[in-house]
């Protein structure tokens, strides 16, 4: 016989248990809803087409203008900065409402730093040789990282830049085997860039402009061409240009480029060494040049100037640093023949390439830049930061570097007799040469150190990304 009291008690307990579980599920649902709701603060910075809003600990951004995406009338200036902040929208807003207002959003994988978020920038160099342009590519990466950005450094795996590349914080190397006709290269590049989610692409190689412009359109981001010379070829296809001198910018403007899209970013040097102690010249004094054996470097003028010193019985020792490659062999042979013709075999050393630049600069007392054509001249910065007296031609870059100072002995392009006169002045008055060397050191400290140029570069990349 069924015990009715016992059955009723079991049913009561079951009902209580069911109510308890139902209440627990309702509480969990409410908690989940609260987690999906959040206070939203919209932050509008100086860039009108990029604005940010915070959802808990996540940072998101929209690529459209605030006016296009959302019609809020509550932005007011912050008294302490140029940022506009919301002070009205403080009640919880569900994620669905946010998605409705902000149609195209994606996660940023880094925290905000200061007023603006860290950018993700692709820095591209596909050259296989090693020279000033390749050095500039390396300096750009470190300057961008110093400014707080994440950098993806894209290099050709067969190039010398890749061989000597050193990893650094916020810089990730990515090696490719570039061939402009290899369409299959698009596939790994596309997925690598998709994973990196870049905000901007900076191109140091004109050969790569077409390929990366195509990829930039897929990701709806902008490209910048770094103009290491005044040739317009292909750089006008990019959204902006970083010119290494004002002289080049003026040329680009004359050729029809928009001045607002050209930013003057000089080359830089990452070397914070102190002022070198004064020491007398060696006996005999050592005069040096270094670079590629390219006719534009003007090495024959250097040899002829040293020949003039020898005719006047002025003691010296000349050093030419550099090693010929296949295409430079003809110029190298021309210089060797000229040395023999002027009977300078015992006075000029063809020292080869220096893997450590300090080995070259420690060897010389006076540095010479004899170029007939020199868009900038990073070697000038290298010599001046080591407090070396500089004798330089007034080619395009040096003319701008020394326009408002007396940090170097200068001579007209191609005038080897004037070069010889500059060398005579430096050799005859070591005190005056030392004063110029100190002025050159201070010039680099004030204008061309990586930390100083990094600030200009940071402003430029943000303006380009913002469309300013």
Can you give the pLDDT at residue 11?
Answer: 60
Identify the domain boundary among 59, 94, 116: 116
Can you give the pLDDT at residue 183?
Answer: 82
Q: What is the pLDDT averaged over residues 78-89?
A: 32
Q: Which residue did the predictor score with more confidence, 128 or 25?
A: 128
Q: What is the pLDDT averaged over residues 176-182?
A: 84
pLDDT band at 129 (very low <50, low <70, confident <90, very high): confident
Using one digit for the tens of pLDDT, what is the confidence trace for 208-257? Answer: 999 999 999 999 999 999 999 999 889 999 999 999 999 999 999 999 99
pLDDT band at 52 (very low <50, low <70, confident <90, very high): very low
Say whether both 112 and 245 belong to one domain.
no
Say whether both 265 and 322 belong to one domain.
no
CATH number for the domain harbouring residue 383: 3.40.50.2000
Q: With respect to residue 31, please indicate whether it lies within any of the assigned structural domains.
A: no
What domain range is 44 assigned to? 37-116
Say whether both 429 and 326 belong to one domain.
yes
Global pTM value: 0.72
Q: Which residue did the predictor score with more confidence, 117 or 375?
A: 375
Q: Does residue 305 have a pLDDT over 70?
A: yes
Q: What is the pLDDT averaged over residues 350-376?
A: 95
Q: Does residue 63 have a pLDDT over 60?
A: no
pLDDT band at 312 (very low <50, low <70, confident <90, very high): very high
Can you give the pLDDT at residue 268?
Answer: 96
Say whether both 185 and 329 belong to one domain.
no
Identify the domain boundary among 66, 92, 116: 116
Q: With respect to residue 227, please indicate whether it lies within any of the assigned structural domains.
A: yes
Q: What mean pLDDT value characterizes the chain? A: 81
Q: What is the pLDDT averaged over residues 80-84?
A: 31
Q: What is the pLDDT averaged over residues 57-75?
A: 35
Can you give the pLDDT at residue 468?
Answer: 61
Q: With respect to residue 11, please indicate whether it lies within any of the assigned structural domains.
A: no
Say whether both 48 and 67 belong to one domain.
yes
Lowest mean pLDDT among 96-105, 150-159, 406-415, 423-432: 96-105
Say whether both 441 and 299 belong to one domain.
yes
Q: Does residue 48 have a pLDDT over 70?
A: no
Question: Which residue is it, tokens 């069924």?
Answer: 2
pLDDT band at 22 (very low <50, low <70, confident <90, very high): low
User: CA 242, CA 202: separation in Å to the nearest integer?
Assistant: 9
pLDDT band at 58 (very low <50, low <70, confident <90, very high): very low
Say whether both 183 and 241 belong to one domain.
yes
Say whether both 105 and 144 belong to one domain.
no
Can you give the pLDDT at residue 325?
Answer: 81
Lowest mean pLDDT among 38-47, 230-239, 367-376: 38-47
What percentage of the chain has pLDDT greater than the value 90?
64
Q: Does residue 379 have a pLDDT over 80?
A: yes
Q: Cα 131 to chain center, whole Å? A: 15
Say whether both 292 and 333 belong to one domain.
yes
Q: What is the pLDDT averaged over residues 33-57?
A: 37
Q: With respect to residue 276, please indicate whether it lies within any of the assigned structural domains.
A: no
Say whether both 222 and 349 belong to one domain.
no
Q: With respect to residue 365, please indicate whether it lies within any of the assigned structural domains.
A: yes
Q: Does residue 421 have a pLDDT over 80?
A: yes
Alpha carbon distances (Å) from 427 to 70, 309, 314, 380: 70, 10, 9, 19
Q: Which residue did the predictor score with more confidence, 22 or 243?
A: 243
Can you give the pLDDT at residue 119?
Answer: 96
Tell me how many domains the chain contains: 3
Q: With respect to residue 455, please indicate whether it lies within any of the assigned structural domains.
A: yes
Q: Are 186 and 211 in contact (CB under 8 A)?
A: yes
Q: With respect to residue 262, please indicate whether it lies within any of the assigned structural domains.
A: yes
Can you give the pLDDT at residue 47?
Answer: 34
Q: With respect to residue 108, please indicate whether it lies within any of the assigned structural domains.
A: yes
Identify the domain boundary among 116, 131, 147: 116
pLDDT band at 180 (very low <50, low <70, confident <90, very high): confident
Structure tokens at 225: 């061409």
Can you give the pLDDT at residue 181?
Answer: 78
Say whether both 136 and 230 belong to one domain.
yes
SS (H, E, C) the chain: CCCHHHHHHHHHHHHHHHHHHHHHHHHHHHHHHHHHEECEEEEECCCCCCEEEEECCEEEEECCCHHHHCCCCCEEECCCCCCEEECCCCCCEEHHHHHHHCCCEEECCCCEECCEECCEEEEEECCCCCCHHHHHHHHHHHHHHHCCCEEEEEEECCCHHHHHCCCECCEEEEEECCCCCCHHHHHHHHHHHHHHCCCEEEECCHHHHHHHHHHHHHHCCEEEEEECCCCCCCHHHCCEEEECCHHHHHHHHHCCCCHHHEEECCCCECCCCCCCCCCCCCCCCEEEEECCCCHHHCHHHHHHHHHHHHHCCCCCEEEEEECCCCCCHHHHHHHHHHHHHCCCCCCEEEEECCCCHHHHHCCCCEEEECCCCCCCCHHHHHHHHCCCCEEEECCHHHHHHCCCCCCCEEECCCCHHHHHHHHHHHHHCHHHHHHHHHHHHHHHHHHCEHHHHHHHHHHHHHHHHHCC
Say whether both 291 and 218 belong to one domain.
no
């Amino acid at each position: 016989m069924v015990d009715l009291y016992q059955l009723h008690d079991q049913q009561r307990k079951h009902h209580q248990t069911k109510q308890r579980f139902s209440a627990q599920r309702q509480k969990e649902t409410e908690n989940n809803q609260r987690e999906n709701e959040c206070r939203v603060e919209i932050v509008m910075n100086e860039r009108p087409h990029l604005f940010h809003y915070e959802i808990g600990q996540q940072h998101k951004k929209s690529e459209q203008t605030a006016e296009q995406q959302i019609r809020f009338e509550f932005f007011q200036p912050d008294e302490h900065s140029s940022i506009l902040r919301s002070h009205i929208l403080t009640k919880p807003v569900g994620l669905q409402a946010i998605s409705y207002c902000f149609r195209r959003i994606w996660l940023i994988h880094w925290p905000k730093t200061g007023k603006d978020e860290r950018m993700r920038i692709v820095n591209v160099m596909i050259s296989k040789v090693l020279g000033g342009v390749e050095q500039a590519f390396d300096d750009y990466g470190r300057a961008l990282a110093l400014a707080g950005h994440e950098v993806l450094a894209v290099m050709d795996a067969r190039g010398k830049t890749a061989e000597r590349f050193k990893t650094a914080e916020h810089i990730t190397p990515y090696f490719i085997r570039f061939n402009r006709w290899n369409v299959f290269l698009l596939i790994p590049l596309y997925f690598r860039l998709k994973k990196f989610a870049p905000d901007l692409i900076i191109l140091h190689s004109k050969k790569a402009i077409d390929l990366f412009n195509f990829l930039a359109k897929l990701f709806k981001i902008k490209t910048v061409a770094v103009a290491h010379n005044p040739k317009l070829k292909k750089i006008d296809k990019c959204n902006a240009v970083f010119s290494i001198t004002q002289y080049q910018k003026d040329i680009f403007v004359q050729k029809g480029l928009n001045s607002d899209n050209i930013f003057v970013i000089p080359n830089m040097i990452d070397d914070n060494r102190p002022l070198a102690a004064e020491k007398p010249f060696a006996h005999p004094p050592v005069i040096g040049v270094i670079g590629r054996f390219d006719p534009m470097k003007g090495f024959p003028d250097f040899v002829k100037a040293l020949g003039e010193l020898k005719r006047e019985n002025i003691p010296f020792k000349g050093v030419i640093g550099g090693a010929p490659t296949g295409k430079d062999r003809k110029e190298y042979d021309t210089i060797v023949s000229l040395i023999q013709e002027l009977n300078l075999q015992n006075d000029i050393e063809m020292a080869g390439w220096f893997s450590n630049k300090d080995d070259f600069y420690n060897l010389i007392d006076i540095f010479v830049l004899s170029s007939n054509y020199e868009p900038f001249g990073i070697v000038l910065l290298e010599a001046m930061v080591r407090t070396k007296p500089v004798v330089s031609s007034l080619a395009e870059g040096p003319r701008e570097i020394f326009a408002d100072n007396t940090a170097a002995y200068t001579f007209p392009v191609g005038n080897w007799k004037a070069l010889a006169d500059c060398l005579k002045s430096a050799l005859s008055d070591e005190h005056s040469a030392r004063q110029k060397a100190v002025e050159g050191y201070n010039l680099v400290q004030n204008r061309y150190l990586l930390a100083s140029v990094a600030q200009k570069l940071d402003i430029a990349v943000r303006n380009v990304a913002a469309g300013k």
